[in-house]
Structure 1
Amino acid sequence: MSPTLLHALFEAAAYAVGFRLFLRERRRRALPALADRESSLAIGIGAILGAALGAKIAYWLYDPVYAFAGFPDWVHLLQGKSIIGALLGGLAGVEIAKKLDGVRGSTGDAFVWPLMLGMAIGRIGCFLSGLDDHTAGNPTSLPWGVDFGDGVPRHPTQLYEVLFLALWAALLAWRGDRLSRPGDRFRAFMIGYLAYRLCIESIRPIPFHYFGLLSGLQLLCVAGLLYYHRDIPRIAKDLPWPRK
């Protein structure tokens, strides 16, 4: 089976499993903001459109030289995407949809488990796709380095992410009930994932540096963490340790 087809199958499985889990979470949590069917549809459309646009913008920021080569070749320009951009774009799309539809209240907690499970499934597909997926890490001499087909052991950053998601999900399941506000599980997921990606991008190829320091994806992680900066101290206090 070709790497492209293999990746497509895992990506389709990630979407399918994530969507089914979201429907279950929506029923189980009975969030007021998702109770109305039309409002729920508007929020879903906002999430999808925002995620699609954000994923593309993030890739353009990540490798602008390649993305805009041959501009205005739109077929080439629409290649590539990033989960960081999809998450931030989806967040923006949901908030805009809620504002336009007059919806109040948090909806994020219903998305946490679907996103984490879907992302983990997708990253397994990325790992099995090899170098063609452009998600492998830099060369390494560590014993768990993986040869993706070019004879060079590399950091299996896709598996690092699966491991991180599993550990972060376990922490949220164990301590999540201590988070004090509606939507805090989603905020904790986003803060943890953005912090993780900010760090892990340093062992992945960076085709274009901004300010001589950071990749476009790292800049987006910084922007996302700044968006949540008021929530970070509260969540850091509540999540890892019991309240006294």
Structure 2
Amino acid sequence: MSPVALHTVFEMLAYAVGFRTFLWTRKKLAPSAFTHDDHVAWVGVGAIVGAALGAKLAFWLDDPLAAFRDFPDLAHLLEGKSIIGALLGGLAGVELAKKIAGVRQSTGDAFVLPLTVGMCIGRVGCFMAGLSDHTYGNPTTLPWAVDFGDGQPRHPTQLYEIAFLLAQYTLIHFRRTALVEPGDRFRAFMIGYLSFRLLVEFIKPLPYAYLHALSGLQLLCLAGLLHYYRDIPRVLRALFARRRNAWEPR
């Protein structure tokens, strides 16, 4: 099986397993996220449409020279996508769908584990796809560097992302009682992931530089973090504050 076909298989597997995980999570880990089944449909449609549009827009922003190289060839224009754009677009789509449907409660906590599982599976496919996926890192001499087929040992940034996502979910899960506000687990997920991607993009090839330094994806990460700027201090305190012992003075 070719690397591209393997990537497609893992992408489909990510969607399937992520969806099954969502069905379990909404009942076991986030039962208050949805009060009616029709809310699930509204949020699902908003997430899918928003993620699809956001993923494409992010690709156009990150590498406009490649995206519009054969314009107006629509097939080429629709080839690329980005998980950062999908997350931010999905967030916008869900918020719009909730306003239309009159859903007032936060629904994000039900998506933390499904997103983590799905993204980890998807990144396995990205790693196996090698150079054709354009998710590898810059050349490095580190002992765990990987040659993706061009003779250059590179940062396996796909594996870095898997490790980060698993560590982040472990932290969020064990600190879930400290994340008291509905939606805080999802906010913690987004703040952590956007921060990780903002930093890891510095060790990846830069297809197009904005401000002579940042990629389009990094600009999207900054925009996402700006969206959560009021929540960041509270979420970080909940995640990392030392638990007070019962005998300590209050």
Deviation at 1:30, TM superposition (A): 2.2
Q: Are 2:67 and 1:67 aligned?
A: yes
State the distance in 2 between where 1:190 and 1:109 align. Answer: 11
Offset of 1:58 from its aligned partner? 0.4
Give, as a single letter, the amino acid of the residue that structure 2 aligns with 1:116: T
Which string of whole-angstrom CA distances, capped at 9 and with x for unpartnered residues, describes residues 169-192 of structure 1? 111111122112010000000000
Residue 8 in structure 1 maps to residue 11 in structure 2: no
Q: 1:30 aligns to what?
A: 31
Between Structure 1 and Structure 2, how many residues are aligned? 243
> Which residue is 1:165 aligned to?
165
How does 1:1-244 map onto structure 2 within 5 Å? 1-28=1-28, 29-31=30-32, 34-244=34-244
TM-score normalised per structure 2: 0.95
Structure 1: which 5+ runs fail to align?
none
The list of structure 1 runs, each at least 4 consecutive aligned residues, that deviate by more than 6 angstroms after superposition, is none
The worse-fitting range, judged by mean Cα deviation, of 192-201 and 162-171 is 162-171
CA positional deviation for 1:26: 1.4
Give the secondary structure class of the aligned counterpart of 1:95.
Answer: helix
Indicate the SS of the match to 1:178.
coil
Deviation for aligned residue 1:240: 1.4
SS, match of residue 211 in structure 1:
coil
Per-residue deviation, 1:37: 2.1
Shift of 1:241: 2.2
Task: Give me the identity figure in percent.
Answer: 63
User: How far did residue 243 of structure 1 move?
Assistant: 4.5
1 CA distance for matches of 2:213 and 2:133?
24
Report the CA distance between 1:39 and its aligned residue. 2.1
TM superposition score normalised by structure 1? 0.97
Runs of at least 5 residues in structure 2 that lack an aligned partner in the other structure: 245-250
AA paired with 1:99? K
Deviations 1:121-161 (A, max 9, x none): 11011111111111110111111110011111000000000
The residue type equivalent to 2:62 in the other structure is Y
Per-residue CA deviations over 1:42-76 (Å, capped at 9, x if unaligned) read 11000000000000000000100110112111101
Greater share of residues in helix = 1
Distance 1:98 1:243 in 2: 35
